[in-house]
Structure 1
Amino acid sequence: MREYKELYIGGSWAAPSHDRFVDVVSPHSQEVVGTAPEGTPDDVDRAVAAARHAFDHGPWPTMDPKERLAAVQRIADAYNARQAELSELISTEMGAPLWFSQVGQVGATSMALAAFLNFGAQYPWEERRTGFFGQDVVVRREPAGVAGMITPWNVPHFTTISKLIPALLAGCTVVLKPSEEVPLSVLALAEIIDEAGLPEGVVSIIPAGRDTGEHLVRHPGVDKISFTGSPTAGKRIASLCGQDLRRVTLELGAKSAAIILDDADLAMTIERLPLASLLNSGQACIAQTRILASRQRYDEVVDAVTTMVNGLPVGDPLDAANYIGPMVSQRQQQRVDGYITLGQEEGARLVTGGNGMPDGLDRGWYVRPTVFADVDNRMRIAQEEIFGPVLAVIPYDDEADAIRIANDSAYGLGGSVWTSDVEHGVDVARKIRTGTLGINQYLLDFNSPFGGYKSSGFGREFGPEGIEPYIEYKSIALPLG
């Protein structure tokens, strides 16, 4: 049982502005595993005031970038020292299978920290170039200001680090509003940041609900918003930021496709496909839940995918042998179960899974891993993000048809191409309108920009491009001659 009684406001632990605390319920046992305060607009006001003062009058924005880099290194060191504890905490709180918490939650966060430290050490914060008229021009990259950040529950540390660290390296001050679903893990992250000893006011972490998040987006003291979450919320945030010309980046939903070409090694494909399609029990924006197979090999692919899904152990997320855990909440369980019902009503063929609890489980917010075949790409189960362990196998006529189907989506975040000819796979990938793809695998690469086309949002995270959303460019032209 982990209990927090305070929020992290302006670089210090402080009592919340109210006496409301939320019970954190395990999605596996349905028992209370912790308590934490839920932030309010009043708490956000205190945090923004501290961040505004720290940016306008404090040392952080004008500090030598090497000093900010050293502070981030302290965060990384403290984080790495607690990896085992943090992995177990995330699995307990939101149900991620322990293997994924170790590799894709905490492990990936550690690797992302290392990548940003590398970029920060090499980043050209100020450079001189020759101007059009022959004079020297100083081009500076300066911090964008107070950055408000809203992060989701599915990968709480990873999505936080993707925003927080480049903002800190740039010299921004930060007010972070994580999801109220995961207060324990994000307040544990606040402990680590506190240990790093950043100046007063530089970071605040206030887990809270949507109303408090909208208050942060609207706050006149905030210069920049970064959001990861649903397209519906993203549209609302973009609208609010547009009214005030507030800078904004959005990382939203997806319905990514894995294209299995006829020359693919099917055994290798099926071995690697779970990591592309069912990571985090399907609760991942990059999950490739549309499996595209040619009519020539369609039955073979459906059988192989079905055998793969049936072989994935489902159960207690703290049991390292289990590949699939519960959904984060009863609401999410009901949402996914509703899509399984919808798929059958739309006429898709249920091959395995379906409604109800997985065999051997009598409690927890679980969903049976499900495969639909004979799916038309116009069906809602092929167009809408389900965010659960539900795969749709869609037939295509030829390669051009596969590309058409992959692109026939409101989204464009991830994807993959499976083939024995890697260079040809790259040619196919070039024709897919999505921000990231893999050939015979899907791995989010921390040295490269991550983000989406179309309704998957705009802006990029990771790589040196991940620092760009948190800077402003300034050009200083020196005298002619």
Structure 2
Amino acid sequence: MTTLQCLSPVDGSLYVERPLAAEGDIRQALDAAVRAQPFWRNTPLADRVALVRRAVEIFVDRKEELGPELTWMMGRPIRFASGEILGFAERAHYMADIAEAALADIRLPEKEGFERFIRREPLGISLVIAPWNYPYLTAVNAVVPALLAGNAVILKHSAQTPLCAERMVEAFIEAGLPAGVIQYLHLSHGNTERLISAPEINHVAFTGSVPGGAMVERVAAGRFIHVGLELGGKDPAYVRADADLEASVASVVDGAYFNSGQSCCGIERLYVHESLFDDFVQRAVALVKDYRLGRPDEADTTLGPLVRTAAADFVRGQIDEALSAGARAHIDPVAFPADRPGTPYLAPQLLTEVNHEMRVMREESFGPVLGVQPVRDDEEAIALMNDSDFGLTSAIYSRDIDAARTIGERLQTGTVLLNRCDYLDPALAWTGVKQSGRGCTLSTVGYEHLTRPKSFHLKKRP
């Protein structure tokens, strides 16, 4: 029997082992979803909303158990781990709040002798493929609105966070969702492709790497199903000359290093107006030095390991290459005794004298490193922010909201943020451009990607 093995970044031990789904398991899950979905779509929306809210309550009640599991599976410090559960609840409840309006028929102006409207119908069966870095927050974006829209869901989590799929499904089942409406499968890469290509699957929501997204598109090609891809980023921030320096330093540093930099919308490159540059760097370095790198199961740790040694080595390689090309490192790893080559424990780093010839300013790092460049004006900042293969979020720090709005209109990005970063508001469309993906989750717009329009053109008399 082939198994999934989750090796904890805390100490390299085997934390979870599960059998991978075989062909029969996949067939059983698909058949169950096919049987359940028609009943679920015909369940009154108010009842679907009530059941989902009940599941969220059950889930939140278990946050003290779920937090340590996250720490051991993917390395987030225990002091922050349970916060993801509350974020899950916020997004779920918001999508429930707007479900009635978002899914209501679109009524057209009166036309004598006719009734005309557009109905939003569920797609059928949604396959949600979730990553390890925010396994609950990313999954909720698709799972909850898919269920509220009347779809059945099959959830596949990363091999690094298998318990997350199990815990979510357990809560929904305990809340009373009918059998087959939501299920999980632990899958090999080959069987993941097999499931995407199954004719019963009507929608795929994938969060992960660009190569992973390319695989989803390749396997789904020719089936004409809905595919949503959230593929990460190399998100920039720009600190204008008129920014509140203290507030912008605190926000950017948190946005760059929280979760050890393992956030698709974390800040990975920063452009600071030359008049503030030296002061900004000095203050930022002081804040970064306050982090405590260590075992994430210890209460005073504020920076945990990366998810695996290979991920840490990738970031080490970016840093070393930048230094050899003339970049300046402002953090001495010696100040972080837990930093050890050959392990996932990596000291945070802030680099200046960087440029876009360096991989650290072009490739997604997904680790605790930030490159900082001075800029002369808005024009230079905009050009550099847009000089990327990615476009998920972009952050601006300024006291001038009109100037920020004007800059934001020129940025090639899915979300423009002012005086904050690394944040997702469920009332806004979560989407990206370029290699950050396509499609949309959350907001009323997100429901459009989980339903299909059906027009009714009814002539009242023959």
Question: Do both share a fold (TM > 0.5)?
Answer: yes
CA contact (8 A) 2:131 2:207 kept: yes
- TM-score w.r.t. the length of structure 2 is 0.93
Give 2:172's aligned residue: 193
* Match status 1:418 vs 2:400: no
Give 2:236's aligned residue: 257
Q: In the TM superposition, what whole-angstrom CA distance separates every residue of 1:275-310 from its partner, at most 9, and x where no partner exists?
A: 322221100100111010123332222222222211
CA distance in 2: counterparts of 1:36 and 1:45, whole angstroms: 18
CA contact (8 A) 2:103 2:149 kept: no
Which of 239, 244, 266 is 2:218 aligned to? 239
* Match status 1:359 vs 2:337: yes
CA distance in 2: counterparts of 1:161 and 1:242, whole angstroms: 26
* C-alpha displacement of 1:185: 2.6
Residue 268 of structure 1 aligns to a residue in which SS? helix
CA contact (8 A) 1:38 1:180 kept: no
Residue 438 of structure 1 aligns to a residue in which SS? strand
Which one is further off, 420-429 or 258-267? 420-429
Which one is further off, 33-42 or 471-480? 33-42
Which of 59, 71, 89 is 1:91 aligned to? 71
Residue 160 of structure 1 aligns to a residue in which SS? helix
* Match status 1:459 vs 2:461: no
Give 1:35's aligned residue: 17
After TM superposition, list the pairs within 5 Å mapping 1:191-230 onto structure 2: 191-230=170-209
Size of the alignment, in residue pairs?
459
Give 1:394's aligned residue: 373
CA distance in 2: counterparts of 1:170 and 1:264, whole angstroms: 42
Counterpart code for 2:32: A
CA distance in 2: counterparts of 1:291 and 1:79, whole angstroms: 37
* Match status 1:409 vs 2:391: no
Which of 260, 278, 289 is 1:299 aligned to? 278
CA contact (8 A) 1:294 1:397 kept: yes
Which one is further off, 214-223 or 44-53? 44-53
Give 2:456's aligned residue: 476
Which one is further off, 161-170 or 193-202? 193-202
* C-alpha displacement of 1:157: 1.1
After TM superposition, list the pairs within 5 Å mapping 1:176-191 onto structure 2: 176-191=155-170
**Cα distance, 1:304–1:172 mapped onto 2, change above 3 Å:** same
CA contact (8 A) 1:93 1:185 kept: no
Give 2:36's aligned residue: 54
* C-alpha displacement of 1:236: 2.2
Unpaired runs of 5+ in structure 1?
1-18
Which one is further off, 312-321 or 165-174? 312-321
CA distance in 2: counterparts of 1:313 and 1:28, whole angstroms: 15
Q: In the TM superposition, what whole-angstrom CA distance separates every residue of 1:375-408 from its partner, at most 9, and x where no partner exists?
A: 1123221111011001011222211110111111
Residue 107 of structure 2 aligns to a residue in which SS? strand
CA contact (8 A) 1:433 1:453 kept: yes
* Match status 1:25 vs 2:25: no
CA distance in 2: counterparts of 1:327 and 1:357, whole angstroms: 18
Which one is further off, 246-255 or 424-433? 424-433
* Match status 1:69 vs 2:57: no
- TM-score w.r.t. the length of structure 1 is 0.90
Which one is further off, 294-303 or 155-164? 294-303
CA RMSD of aligned residues (A): 2.1
CA distance in 2: counterparts of 1:44 and 1:367, whole angstroms: 39
Give 2:424's aligned residue: 444
Residue 259 of structure 1 aligns to a residue in which SS? strand
CA distance in 2: counterparts of 1:44 and 1:288, whole angstroms: 39
CA distance in 2: counterparts of 1:430 and 1:41, whole angstroms: 49
CA distance in 1: counterparts of 2:378 and 2:417, whole angstroms: 17
Which of 86, 107, 115 is 2:94 aligned to? 115
Counterpart code for 1:315: G
**Cα distance, 1:431–1:74 mapped onto 2, change above 3 Å:** same
* Match status 1:101 vs 2:72: no
Residue 29 of structure 1 aligns to a residue in which SS? coil
CA contact (8 A) 2:235 2:393 kept: yes
* C-alpha displacement of 1:40: 4.1
Residue 36 of structure 1 aligns to a residue in which SS? strand
CA distance in 1: counterparts of 2:138 and 2:231, whole angstroms: 12
CA contact (8 A) 1:357 1:367 kept: no
* C-alpha displacement of 1:36: 2.4
* Match status 1:427 vs 2:427: no
CA contact (8 A) 1:336 1:386 kept: yes
* Match status 1:371 vs 2:350: yes
CA contact (8 A) 2:126 2:152 kept: yes
Counterpart code for 2:454: K
Q: In the TM superposition, what whole-angstrom CA distance separates every residue of 1:150-204 from its partner, at most 9, and x where no partner exists?
A: 1111111111111111110111111111111111232122221221221121111
* Match status 1:335 vs 2:314: yes
* C-alpha displacement of 1:274: 2.8
